[in-house]
Chain A
Amino acid sequence: MESHNHPSFIEPYQGAATGVGGILRDVFTMGARPIANMNALRFGDPGNPKTRHLVAGVVAGIGGYGNCVGVPTVGGETNFHKSYNGNILVNAMTVGLADKNNIFYSAAAGVGNPVVYFGSKTGRDGIHGATMASAEFDEKSEEKRPTVQVGDPFTEKLLIEACLELMATDVIVAIQDMGAAGLTSSSFEMASKGGLGVELDLDSVPMREQGMSAYEIMLSESQERMLMILKPGKEDVARAIMDKWELDFAVIGTLTDTGRMVLKRHGEIVANLPIDPLAQASPEYDRPWTAPAKLPVIAADTVEAVDPASALKTLLGCPDLASKRWIYEQYDHMVMGDTVQRPGGDAAVVRIHGTQKAVAITTDCTPRYCQADPHEGGRQAVAEAYRNISATGAVPLAVTDNLNFGNPEKHEIMGQIVEAIKGMGEACRELDFPVVSGNVSLYNETQGTAIQPTPAIGAVGLLDDVSKHMTVAFKAGGNHIVLLGETKGWLGASLYLREVCGREEGAPPPVALHRERRKGELVRQLIQDGQITACHDVSDGGLLVAVAEMAMASGIGASLEAPSSLPLHAWCFGEDQGRYVLEVGQDDLVAVLEAAQEHDCVARVIGKTGGTDIGVGGSSVAVTELKAVNEAWMPTFMGAEMSGH
Chain B
Amino acid sequence: MKAAVIVFPGSNCDRDVAVALQASMGAKPDMVWHRDTHLPDVDLIVVPGGFSYGDYLRCGAMAAHSPIMREVKARADQGARVLGICNGFQIITEAGLLPGVLMRNSGLKFICRDVHLRVENDRTDFCRYYRSGDVVRFPIAHAEGNYFVDAKTYREMEDNGQVAFRYCGADGNVAPEFNPNGSLGNVAGVYNAKKNVLGLMPHPERLAEDLLGGSDGKLMFDSLVEALS
Contact = CB atoms under 8 A, between A and B. Distances in A.
A336 B56 CA distance: 22
B112 A334 contact: yes
Contacts of A70: 12-13, 50-51
A335 B9 contact: no
Interface string A319-331: 0000000001111
Contacts of B51: 67-68, 70, 153-154, 157
A211 interface: no
B111 A329 contact: yes
Contacts of A155: 54
A158 B111 contact: no
Interface string A48-70: 00000000000010011001111
A333 B110 CA distance: 12
A637 to B, nearest CB: 15
A152 interface: yes
Contacts of A246: 9
Given A70-B13, A331-B112, A335-B141, A340 B53 contact: no
A337 B206 contact: yes
Contact of A152 (B54, B110, B111, B211): B54
A469 to B, nearest CB: 9
Nearest to A341: B213
B113 interface: yes
Max chain A CB contacts within 10 Å: which of B16, B55, B113, B211?
Answer: B211
Interface size bracket, A side: 20 to 34
B10 A333 contact: no
A336 B211 contact: no
A351 interface: yes
Nearest to A328: B112
A69 B11 CA distance: 9
Contacts of B49: 335
A69 B139 CA distance: 18
B109 interface: yes
A67 B112 CA distance: 10
A329 B114 CA distance: 10
B106 to A, nearest CB: 12
Contact of A330 (B9, B56, B112): B112
Nearest to B213: A342
A334 B206 contact: yes
A67 B141 contact: yes
A226 interface: no
A154 B10 contact: yes
A272 interface: no
B16 A337 contact: yes
Contacts of A153: 51, 54
Interface string B20-47: 1000000000000000000000000000
A466 interface: yes
B141 A351 contact: no
B10 A245 contact: no
Contact of B9 (A60, A158, A338): A158
Nearest to A638: B109
B141 A334 contact: yes
Contacts of A187: none
A645 to B, nearest CB: 11
Chain B contact surface mostly: mixed
Contact of B211 (A329, A333, A351): A351
Interface string A340-351: 101000000001
Contacts of A338: 212
Given A67-B51, A67-B141, A157 B212 contact: no
B16 A467 contact: no
A336 B15 contact: yes
Contacts of B111: 329-330
A329 B112 contact: yes
A332 interface: yes
A154 B54 contact: yes
Contacts of A339: 212
B103 interface: no
Interface in B203-225: 203, 205-206, 211-213
A330 B143 CA distance: 9
B16 A336 contact: yes
B109 A330 contact: yes
Contact of B53 (A154, A334, A336, A342): A154
A184 to B, nearest CB: 28
Contacts of A466: 211
Contacts of B80: none
B1 interface: no
B19 interface: yes
Q: Which of B49, B54, B111, B139 has the most CB of A within 10 A?
A: B54
Interface string A103-118: 0000000000000000
A479 B19 CA distance: 38
A467 B112 CA distance: 24
Contact of B212 (A63, A158, A337): A337
Contacts of A154: 9-10, 51, 53-56
Interface in B161-218: 203, 205-206, 211-213
B203 to A, nearest CB: 8
A329 B12 CA distance: 18
A68 B111 CA distance: 13
A331 B113 CA distance: 9
A245 B33 CA distance: 11
Nearest to A154: B54
Contacts of A60: 109-110
Interface in B129-182: 139, 141
Interface of A: 60, 63-64, 67-70, 152-155, 157-158, 245-246, 328-340, 342, 351, 466-467
Closest A-B pairs by Cβ, 6 of them: A70-B12, A154-B54, A337-B16, A68-B51, A332-B141, A332-B112
9 contacts: A153-B51, A330-B110, A334-B139, A334-B206, A335-B13, A335-B141, A336-B12, A336-B16, A338-B212
Given A70-B12, A329-B112, A336-B15, 6 more contacts: A154-B56, A157-B51, A332-B110, A334-B112, A334-B203, A466-B211
